[in-house]
Amino acid sequence: MSDLKKILKEEYDKKKLNFTPKLLMEMIEQVMFEEKTDSNLEQAQAFFKGTGAELDQKSKTRLIVRVDDRDDFKNQIEPRLKLVGYEWDETPGSDSSIGRFRQKETKNPGFNVIVLKNRSNAPRPKGTVSERFESNIIYALAPEDKKGSVDASDRIGSEFPKYQQAADKLVTNLKLTPGIYSKPGDGTVSALYKDFGSSRPTPKTDIANADATDRISVKKKGGGFLSSEGKETTAIIAAVLGFKSREELENDTPAATLIKNLKEKLSKESWNNLETPGQRRELGNNVLTEIYNFVIQFTDQSFGDYQTAVCLEAMTGNNRFVDELSKANKLLFWDLGGNGMYEDLEDWVTANAKNFKFDIRWRGKKRSAGYRIDKNKSTQFQNKMNELYGLPPDTLHELASSSGQEEKFTDLPTYSDPIIDLVTQDQVEEPTGTKTDVNLELEDYLIGLLSEEVSQLEGVIYY
C-alpha cells in the first residue's frame, strides 16, 4: 500500500488534480491490481495476524486454519471474514463436521475455501471443549476444601489455563452458590420417544447439585438450542401436541396425518435424494408450512405459544425423560471472558422464544432433517417466515388461532441461493458509520479496516 502515496503524489505533481471519489477509487484499484502478485498465503498470514492461528495451504484455493477451539474461533472471526466476502457454509463434509467459510465470488483472488480445525494438541480427548468446560465449572463451584473430592477429571487443565480462569470468573460474576455439583449419567427415555425411534439417553441436565434441585443446562454463548434429526423432531411435536404414545396417533385424524407426513418428509431418503440446496430449501419450507397449517387449524394455541412449547421441550426434556435428574430446569450461558447468564430455564424461554429462529435443516449426507432452533440476531429471518406463511412482517409469533386465520398456504417461495440463503442464515447489520480521525492517512485507514479487531454483539459489527 505504500505505492499508493507515490501514485497520489505523481498524479498531483503532474496535473494538480482535484481528487474526486471516482479518481481515488481508480488509484486504489491500480495499487490493488499491482499487489495481486503477492501469494494467497502471504495475504492470509496478514489477515490472521495476531489471532494465534496456524495456517496450512492445502492448494491455491484452499486454506486450513488450525486453532485451539474452532467453534469459538469461528464465532470470533466470522464478522471479519464477512467484510472481505466470505460466508459460512455449515454443510458437514469430509473436510469438516461443522462446515467451512466460502468466498461468495469465486472469481476473486484468494482462497475460495477456509476450513477451521483444532490443533493436534487442542483440549479434546474426552469430549468437546464445551462438554469438558462443564467440569471446569464444577471445579469452580466446589468449596476450596472440597475441590479435591469433586469429579472434574475431564476438565480442561493447566495446559490451557484460560478455561479454568473463565470458569472461576463466571462463578464470581454470576454470584453462583458454591457447592458439590456433578454430571448425571444416562437418563431413562420415555415410551413416547422410544416409539418414534429417538432413544438417545443423553440428559438435558449437564450439571446438577447434590439434591438435584438445580439441574443446569450449560450452553456456550452463541450456540444453538436444538439441532435434531427427523425422529426426534416428530417426537417433540407429538409431545407438544399432548400425545403420550404413538398408538394414539394410529388413527385417521389430522394429527396422525401430520406425523405420518413428517416422518416421510424429514427422512434421510427424502433429503439425500435431492440434488440442490434450492430443492432442500423448498422441502424445508413445505414442512414448516404443514406444521403451521396444523397448529392454526387444529389446535387452540397461537403459533407463538406452539413454538415456545417446542423450545421448552427441546431444552428441558420434560417429556423425553422419565427421571427428574435428566430434565433441566436452569440455564447457564458462558463465554471465555467469564461472562454469562444464569436463569430459570422455563422463565427464560417463555420470555425470549419470540426472538428464536425455528427452521428445518438437513443434518448432512446419509442423515435426515429436523428442527433447528437458534437465537435470531435480526428480524430478517422472521420476516422471511412471515412472507412464507403470507403474513405481514412482525406478526407470526403473536398470531392466534382465534384470529380467523384458517387459510392453507401452499404457494411456497424457493430460496435457492446456495451461498446467501436469506431463510437459513443471519445477516450481519453493518454499522451506519465508523468514527475515524479526520487526519488519518488513507493508507493507514485502509489497512486498519483489515487489521482492527471486530466483535459482534446482537448482530451489529463494532470496531
Domain ranges of the chain: 38-122, 129-183, 224-323+345-403
Lowest mean pLDDT among 60-69, 85-94, 225-234, 278-287: 85-94
pLDDT at 222: 79
Which of 338, 361, 337, 341 minimizes the C-alpha distance to 349?
A: 341
Which of 196, 266, 187 minimizes the C-alpha distance to 229?
A: 266
pLDDT at 159: 64
**Dihedrals phi, psi of 394, to nearest 5 degrees:** 65, 30
Cell numbers describing residue 247:
398408538
Q: Predicted confidence band at 120 (pLDDT cuts at 50, 70, 90)?
A: low
Cα 304 to Cα 400: distance, rounded to the nearest angstrom: 8
Architecture of domain 38-122: 2-Layer Sandwich (3.30)
pLDDT at 106: 58
Q: Where are the alpha helices (DSSP H) in 299-429?
A: 303-316, 345-352, 379-389
Q: Predicted confidence band at 298 (pLDDT cuts at 50, 70, 90)?
A: very high
Cα 303 to Cα 2: distance, rounded to the nearest angstrom: 58
Q: Which range scores top for mean pLDDT: 260-274, 392-406, 413-427?
A: 260-274
Cell numbers describing residue 301:
394455541
Which of 222, 138, 229, 144 minimizes the C-alpha distance to 180?
A: 138
**Average pLDDT of the chain, as a whole number:** 75
Q: Where are the alpha helices (DSSP H) in 370-441?
A: 379-389
Q: Where are the alpha helices (DSSP H) in 242-356?
A: 254-265, 268-272, 277-298, 303-316, 345-352
pTM above 0.75, yes or no: no
**Dihedrals phi, psi of 171, to nearest 5 degrees:** -60, -40
Cα 420 to Cα 179: distance, rounded to the nearest angstrom: 47
Selected residue with higher pLDDT from 381 and 59: 59
| 138 burial level (CB within 10 Å; 0-12, 13-18, 19+) | buried
Selected residue with higher pLDDT from 26 and 347: 347
Selected residue with higher pLDDT from 17 and 9: 9
Cα 337 to Cα 315: distance, rounded to the nearest angstrom: 24
CA torsion sign for 395, 397, 398, 404 is: positive
